[in-house]
Amino acid sequence: MTDQPTVGAVLYAKSVERVRPFYVECCGLKVTHAEDDHVVLESPAFELVILAIPEKIAASISIATPPARRENTPIKLVFHVDSIDAVRKLAASLGGELNPPAREWHYQKRKVCDGHDPEGNVVQFRESAR
């Protein structure tokens, strides 16, 4: 048995510093390691590495304000949270956005809502049914 998270993901970002606070504040992840080109965020069961896109490639990427959702990807990160409403407010203050309450749905006894981080990466939030 290990004290390391058992699953994880790597997320490429144009600006690690812009994206990091979103995942720390909205998803409850803690910074466990940081360098100029990446940051490691963890919960007891999950590790997210946010890795800077190489400068040559990043120069060709434009992030709109507000960011356009990058929905044409086969991956969507999912985080369980205490309150989707609270995350909706936090996300907006950190450059992200969640869909409005009218676009939430229920799945496996959870309330579910999609949103995106400050660079447009789609993220799903799930709240236990009350």
Tokens describing residue 57: 């490639």
Helix (H, G, I), strand (E, B) or coil at 89: helix
Note whether residue 1 is domain-resident: no
DSSP state of 65: S
Helix (H, G, I), strand (E, B) or coil at 25: helix
Over residues 63-83, the pLDDT tens digits come to 999 999 998 889 999 999 999
Overall domain count for the chain: 1
* The pLDDT of residue 130 is above 80: no
Q: Note down the domain range covering 38.
A: 7-55+64-128
Q: Is the dihedral of CA 107, 110, 111, 116 positive or negative?
A: negative
Question: Comparing C-alpha atoms, which of 22, 125, 8, 29 is closest to residue 66?
Answer: 22
* The pLDDT of residue 20 is above 80: yes
Please list, in sequence order, all residues whose beta carbon lies within 8 angstroms of the beta carbon of residue 10, skipping any fewer than 6 positions away. Answer: 48, 49, 50, 51
CATH for 103 = 3.10.180.10
- Arithmetic mean of pLDDT over the chain: 95
Over residues 32-42, the pLDDT tens digits come to 999 999 999 99
